[in-house]
């Protein structure tokens, strides 16, 4: 495993692949008079492209647009406000993933609430929150569960554990997002135009390759499933340009050692056992029908939204343009707050907080160009 990491990051191999990608992209430019444009759906790809320098080094050959696949970034401010409201009761322990506690709500973040003495904890895995509930039988444990299809099965595992153990002091506030509905919105609204999609390896492990057939069938959009190391991403981009040059529209799987055609059936079954499709609010985009999953009615006792009646006012508006950034409509540099009022230390929007956020990727890895 560790050897593979080294190989997938191998500098010589990456350089060779890079030269080939540039070459193929230039052929495309010659044929079409413009650069090929691809969107990376997933925040992990955004980070990988920025951190390795691939995005910058390909700037004159391929245009890469960051998409909506950062779970923290698309989480509506309302949920943060709701969690802070829930935390006001000292008998409750609120837990969530690391990045979430720094995302600003209308009046501060969960971290600010923690500093005020509220019991807010970071867990690494949803199952840890179940353990916490077992260890604290006299207190209510609420887990804020966010994520795409990569994380939803883990939420389902935690729900199953809580159910099997008959825990009465455990519940989950679920606000999950699905890849297909948001990609459909982007393709139908056409605010940004692109020629192909870089599809995330980890989501595809759960969903499988076949799940992407809507891209080719309904939109004639090619896609390549690839991993996150430099050589993997470069092969992904290479295969996309190759398809364009050959006028082929398909879904290619460059992650075949982990991604099968039908995906991980166990994970899918577990997801569907505990969760069902729901309308979901996306930050900056509003409500999108059937774009998320929430806890099924028969497990309502595990649903924090049903267990506690929390009313919070409409979130306070800021000038943060995260919503436009996650749709690929503007780049972070075009947001008036970026790197001025909004920095990783004082984030205004989630895109600057998250380890997968586009603004954080630009701030951490692409600022040298900005400063000249």
Partner 1 sequence: MNDQRITMAHGDGGEQAHQLIEEVFLKAFGYNGEPLMDAACVKVTDRIAVSTDSFVIKPIFFPGGNIGKIAVAGTVNDIAVSGAVPMYITAGFILEEGFLIRDLVSIVESMAEEAKKAGVRLISGDTKVVERGSADGMFINTTGIGIYQNEIQIHPEAMQEGDSIIISGTIGDHGVTILTARGELGLISDVQSDCASLNHLIREACEGQSGIRIMRDPTRGGLATTLVEICEDFKVTMELDQTALPVRQDVRGACDMLGFDPLYMANEGKVIIITAKESEEYVLKALQSHELGKNAKVIGSITSKDRGQLLLKTPMGTTRRLGRMAGMHLPRIC
Catalog residues that contact partner 1 under the rule CB under 8 A: 1-3, 5-6, 9, 11, 14-15, 18, 51-54, 56-57, 98, 101-102, 122-125, 128, 230, 343-345, 347, 353, 355, 360, 363-368, 371
Smaller CB distance to partner 1: residue 263 or 347? 347
Task: Please state whether beta strands 92-96 and 140-147 pair in parallel, antiparallel, or not at all (unpaired).
Answer: parallel
Q: Whats the size of the chain, residue-wise?
A: 372
Smallest separation, CB 78 to partner 1 (Å): 23
Cα–Cα distance measured from residue 139 to residue 307, given in angstroms and rounded to the nearest whole number: 14
Smallest separation, CB 241 to partner 1 (Å): 17
Smaller CB distance to partner 1: residue 54 or 275? 54
Smallest separation, CB 53 to partner 1 (Å): 3
Smallest separation, CB 217 to partner 1 (Å): 35
Cα–Cα distance measured from residue 272 to residue 147, given in angstroms and rounded to the nearest whole number: 15
Smaller CB distance to partner 1: residue 98 or 336? 98
Half-sphere exposure of 33 (CA within 13 A, CB side): 0
Closest CA to 251 of 203, 206, 217, 205: 217
Closest CA to 65 of 186, 151, 146, 176: 186
Compute the CA torsion angle 304, 308, 311, 315 (nearest 10 deg).
-20
Smallest separation, CB 203 to partner 1 (Å): 16
Smaller CB distance to partner 1: residue 72 or 187? 72
Smaller CB distance to partner 1: residue 74 or 95? 95
Smallest separation, CB 355 to partner 1 (Å): 5
User: Which 8-state DSSP code applies to residue 144?
Assistant: E
- Residue given tokens 């939204």 in the structure block: 305
Smallest separation, CB 120 to partner 1 (Å): 12
Smallest separation, CB 46 to partner 1 (Å): 13
Element (H, E) at 299: none
Smaller CB distance to partner 1: residue 121 or 306? 121
Element (H, E) at 92: strand 92-96
Cα–Cα distance measured from residue 231 to residue 8, given in angstroms and rounded to the nearest whole number: 5
Closest CA to 280 of 154, 130, 127, 148: 148
To the nearest 10 degrees (0 to 180), the angle between helices 152-164 and 265-274 is 60
Smaller CB distance to partner 1: residue 15 or 269? 15
Smaller CB distance to partner 1: residue 186 or 198? 198
């Amino acid at each position: 495993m560790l050897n593979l990491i080294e190989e997938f990051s191998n500098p010589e191999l990456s350089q060779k692949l890079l030269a080939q990608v540039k070459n193929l992209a230039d052929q495309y430019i010659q044929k079409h008079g413009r650069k090929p444009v691809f969107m990376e759906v997933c925040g992990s790809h955004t980070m990988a492209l920025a951190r390795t320098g691939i995005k910058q080094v390909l700037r004159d050959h391929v245009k890469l647009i960051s998409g909506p696949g950062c779970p923290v970034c698309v989480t509506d401010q309302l949920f943060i406000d709701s969690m802070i409201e829930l935390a006001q009761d000292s008998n409750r322990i609120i837990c969530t993933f690391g990045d979430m506690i720094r995302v600003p709500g209308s009046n501060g973040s969960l971290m600010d609430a923690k500093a005020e003495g509220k019991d807010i904890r970071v867990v690494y895995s949803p199952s840890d929150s179940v353990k916490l509930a077992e260890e604290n039988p006299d207190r209510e444990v609420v887990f804020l569960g966010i994520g795409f299809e990569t994380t939803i099965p883990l939420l389902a595992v935690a729900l199953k554990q809580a159910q099997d153990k008959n825990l009465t002091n455990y519940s989950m506030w679920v606000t999950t997002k699905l890849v297909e509905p948001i990609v459909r919105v982007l393709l139908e609204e056409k605010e940004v135009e692109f020629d192909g999609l870089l599809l995330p390896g980890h989501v595809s492990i759960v969903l499988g390759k076949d799940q992407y057939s809507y891209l080719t069938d309904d939109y004639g959009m090619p896609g390549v499933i690839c991993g996150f190391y430099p050589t993997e991403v470069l092969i992904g981009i290479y295969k996309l340009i190759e398809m364009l040059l050959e006028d082929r529209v398909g879904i290619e799987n460059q992650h075949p050692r982990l991604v099968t055609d039908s995906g991980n059936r166990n994970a899918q079954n577990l997801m569907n056992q505990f969760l069902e499709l729901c309308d979901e609010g996306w930050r900056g985009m509003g409500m999108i029908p059937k774009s998320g999953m929430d806890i099924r009615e028969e497990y309502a006792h595990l649903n924090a939204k049903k267990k506690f009646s929390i009313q919070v006012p409409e979130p306070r508006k800021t000038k943060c343009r995260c919503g436009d950034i996650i749709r690929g409509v503007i780049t972070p540099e075009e947001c008036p707050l970026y790197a001025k009022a909004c920095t990783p230390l004082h984030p205004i929007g989630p895109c600057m907080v998250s380890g997968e956020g586009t603004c954080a990727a630009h701030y951490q890895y692409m600022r040298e160009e900005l400063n000249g």
